[in-house]
Every structure is written in structure tokens, then in C-alpha cells.
Structure 1
Amino acid sequence: MTQRINVVGTSASGKTTFSKALAQKMAVPHIEMDALFWKSDWQESSNAEFFAKLEPHLQAKSWVLDGNYTRTTHLKWRQVDLVIWLDYGFGRNLYQSVSRTIKRLISGTALWEGTNNVESFQRAFLSGDSSIIWWMIKTHGKNQRKYQQMMANPEFAHIQFVRLKSPRQARQFLQQFKI
């Protein structure tokens, strides 16, 4: 029986939306890694801070965790049953990244509760590595190679992997998923 699930994928692939829907269907906690990692004013947590925030959530019997953060693999995949990889094409991810950023620019709402981290035009389009759009462009291919290698790694043989290559496949998975 699947109890602990990690949803991974390139930035803007829809990890959080998918994870929330899956957690709701399973009636288990949803854990958003970005919300644990980012502090106010776009300050990053140190590894020690991040791990300390993440560990208590992972002690639960069941959860759906969304996020990559390779530095946490040793923690989050220790007892994970299923990794769902949202592996959409580059064009789809770019479209989602740009459209999501524009929506957030217009709404001006904080990305994570308890922070004042909001999208700005400067940060979104002119800030180089801190731009989520540039980050998606830069990491899309790297993430594909990384997750293909991880799926083939004997160290992770205890994990069931599901690779969803389109939003349609993701919707079908959610409709058909049984606990």
C-alpha cells in the first residue's frame, strides 16, 4: 500500500497542484518543500535549517511531498514508496513557467504563507539565476537526466517510479489512483 509519495519535476511542472490533489484524494498531509525552504525576503534556508524543518513531516505514516531538492534525497527517499515524476516537454514547462509568473505578478500574493515572497518583474525577467523562468530553462534537461539515472540506480530499487509526460497523463493518474 502506498503511504509516502514524492512528486518531482522541473520548476513550473505543476508539482504543488498535482500533489495537493493527490494528498486530498488520499486524505493525507501535503508537504510543500518550497514553503519549508524559503524564508521571508527570498532568503534561503541553510541545509541544517531545511533538514530540521523537513524531518518532522517525514515522520508521519503517510504524506505527499512535492519538490526536488536533491540535497534532501537521503532524507525523503529513505522511506518513500512512490516517486511521481512530472516530466513534461520543454515547451510545456516554459509556457507554464511564464504564464504562472505573469499571474503571480498580477495578483501580488505571497507564494508561501508567512513570507512576503512575491513575484516582481525584476526578479522574474531580469535577475538571472534567481528568475524562476531562467531556472526552469537551465534545469529542464539536467532534471531529465538526473531522474532517469536515479530511476536506474540500484540504491533506489525499493521505490516505485511513475513518469507522467503530459498534464493529460497526470489527470488520468489522479482519476485512476487508488489507495
Structure 2
Amino acid sequence: MRISLVLMSLCVFCCTADAGVLNFTGPFDVANWTQAMTNGGDGSFDLTNAPLSVTLFGSNNAVSGGIASDTRFSITPTTGWFIGFDWQYSTTDDPSWDPAGYSINGVFTQLSNDAGSQSQSGQVRNLLIVPGDVFAFEQRSVDSFFGRAQMTISSFSATVSSFSATVPEPASFIPVAVAFAAFGVRAFRRRRATQTR
């Protein structure tokens, strides 16, 4: 029984050992993301701390205000993932004028609190992204005036979900085959030992 449990544990470990991503590396390397600003905004990106973190700066270039603009850092994975990250937000304006968050296929989820302080932070865990989803971090500016906001993303992680569109490499099935073979041999020996008594 102990041998069976050890083999099963080994099998699970071998099949899942390479299923995770830490920080902005591998398929989530910053080079694989698209940087965009909307409506002529002067937002920007700071990738100097990558792969540990990335920072998005909102727009602040409207002479008289009233110009909405988004600073967007997006990616379209071909594999299903559960992602997680920490976020830190700060603004010199009122938070309600510079919301920060993320979007999936254009549907925005605000993380910053309009009624909160000028410095905020939080975590997101186990957010499901299916193959083909357009996922983006967004620092928005409602008026592009009276000061910009910024959002820093750190501790980014991703784990392959069951919605993965990729086919596992044949090598990942080897531990499974070994485990099943060991179970079969053990069952055969046990049956044979029972018959000879």
C-alpha cells in the first residue's frame, strides 16, 4: 500500500511540476504583452522591475479635462490559466477619477475603491482565463486631468487550468504509465500469492 501511495504521489508531482508560472516569465513574459493607450492619452508603462513587477501610469494630458483614456497592458493566452497577483494603487487625484483594475474580453472589473484613500492595495487569486480570452490590466482616467494614478502588479502567478487547449507532451504520460504498470504487477503478485496458499 505504501509503495502504491508513493508511486501515485510521484506521478502527480511529475505531471504537474511544470504547470505553474511565477512572476512575468515564460508565456507571461512582458515581451508577450501588448501596451496601449486610448484616446491620445499620455499614460505609460514601467517594466524596469520585470519580471517581478510592472507599473501602469494613467493619463494626465487633458488641458481642460474631460478626456477619458485607458492605459492597457494586455495578453491573449492560448492556454487556460488560473492567475493571481498583488496590486498597489496610488493617485494624486480623487480615486473615483482614476479607477484601476483588470478586464477580460473588454469587461472591466474595478479593483480600486472610489471612496478609498489615495493609496490602496489588494490581491486577486484564482482568476480563470480560458484560451482565447483577452486579459488586460487597466489604469483608467475619467478626465485625464488633476493628476495621474498608477497601479503596480507584483507576485504574478499562473497555474494551468483544465481548460488548457494544449496537449500534454508524451513525456508527461511516462510517470502515469510507470505507476499503472507498478499497480498491475503488485496486483498480479498479490493474486498469485493468494492462489498458492
Question: Greater relative contact order (Cα 8 A, min sep 6): structure 1 or 2?
Answer: 1
Greater strand proportion: 2
**Is the structural similarity TM-score above 0.5?**
no
Q: TM-score normalised to the size of structure 1?
A: 0.25
Larger Rg: 2
Greater helix proportion: 1
Q: TM-score normalised to the size of structure 2?
A: 0.23
